[in-house]
Structure 1
Amino acid sequence: MITSEQIEKVRGWFAGRLPEDLFEEVTEVTVDREEITVIGRVPEPRLAEGASATEREAAAQGRIQEFRERTREARMTVAREAEQRFGRKVSWGAVCGAERALFTHVAAPVMTRLRQPERQVLDTLIAGGVARSRSEALAWCVRLVQRHADDWLTELRTSLEQVHRVRSQGPDATTS
């Protein structure tokens, strides 16, 4: 598990390293074992008063695409430094108004062994057209749990951070 201190170091490094004019603000820095995802807010395009929701959505998508192309070189320079420093791939995204887009991100393979009743759940999702493969069905299940158990998962992560802090203070902890 990634500790809150490790996450704070990554967030702090990005806060100091990102060019001042890259984002209006960094809205999210997420870290796991394989990847660091940096998402920032970009300025909304100016539209005529009374612009429709469809026009606003299209304008925001266009602004995100423009930002992606215009800042590619600067983002890749920062990503290369971060990948060397933290040993993880760096992915980027942007938020503009109500629109949110990830540019690139890691799809890490996960190996699991399932018993027949669990495989039957996945196979039912495939037969029902929800997924095309067991892998896709399993990803669908994870997203469903994530959506419906967010508070519980947040509490579990907080508890795990506390366990890590207590372990680091134990008799086998190394002191500097």
Structure 2
Amino acid sequence: MSTRRAPAETLRDWFAERLPDGLFDEPVKIVFDREEITVIGSIAAPTPDPGASEIEQAVATANWIKTFRERTRQTRIEIASDAEHIFGRKVSWGVTCGDITQMFSTLSIPVMTRLRQSERRLLDTLVDAGVARSRSDALGWCVRQVGEHTETWLSDLREAMRRVEEVRDAGPHTQ
């Protein structure tokens, strides 16, 4: 059996050891890729005012999140700085409060691709129609659409990749 740990487990444990008790209400969700580690914690929603409208409650939640963000800024910066040094990736933070998830920071990384004329024309159509400001925005829009409409398939694929990693780790190892 391999003692090598999966990257997700390593990151989850590393952050769990460093996050102060009570900062979040439950274990954080860690999402990562080659450039960025995103940490999303959950906090309790503010106590609802029985006479508050839906809009007033949404404003109260937004203010609650803003207060949390400011109050925890220094702690999050210190932890992110250590993580960035150790893992060589930027750290982004977000919070879930009730049914709202708000990101405090995220990266936007340029990605190079080669497209054939028919694919470029598709992007140009999205730009011409006002769906996107540029080919870059149009390509981002397409990626988001695929992600939203194929989430089950992508989840299955990610699970299969995780399983392959487990099988690979359990297999014979050369010295």
Residue in 1 aligned with 2:102?
A: 101
Deviations 1:120-174 (A, max 9, x none): 1111110111100011001100100000101111111222233334445667x44
Deviations 1:92-147 (A, max 9, x none): 01111222110111111100000001111111110111100011001100100000
- Relative distance call for 1:105 and 1:143 in structure 2 (3 A) is same
Residue in 2 aligned with 1:164?
A: 165
User: For structure 1, which segment, 46-55 or 143-152, has the greater mean C-alpha deviation from structure 2 after superposition?
Assistant: 46-55
For residues 50-89 of structure 1, the aligned pairs below 5 Å read 50-89=51-90
Letter in 1 for 2:65: I
Displacement of 1:47: 3.0
Say which SS state the counterpart of residue 25 (structure 1) adopts. Answer: coil
Paired residues, what number? 172
- Structure with greater contact order relative to length (CA < 8 Å, sep ≥ 6): 2
Residue in 2 aligned with 1:46?
A: 47
Structure 1 gaps, min length 5: none
Say which SS state the counterpart of residue 48 (structure 1) adopts. Answer: coil
Structure 2 Cα separation of the partners of residues 160 and 99 of structure 1? 29
Residue in 2 aligned with 1:90?
A: 91
* Kept after mapping to 2: 8 A contact 1:17/1:78: yes
Structure 2 Cα separation of the partners of residues 74 and 132 of structure 1? 37
Structure 2 Cα separation of the partners of residues 170 and 78 of structure 1? 35
* Kept after mapping to 1: 8 A contact 2:30/2:39: yes
Structure 2 Cα separation of the partners of residues 166 and 174 of structure 1? 15
Letter in 1 for 2:163: Q
Structure 1 Cα separation of the partners of residues 132 and 27 of structure 2? 34
Structure 1 Cα separation of the partners of residues 100 and 11 of structure 2? 25
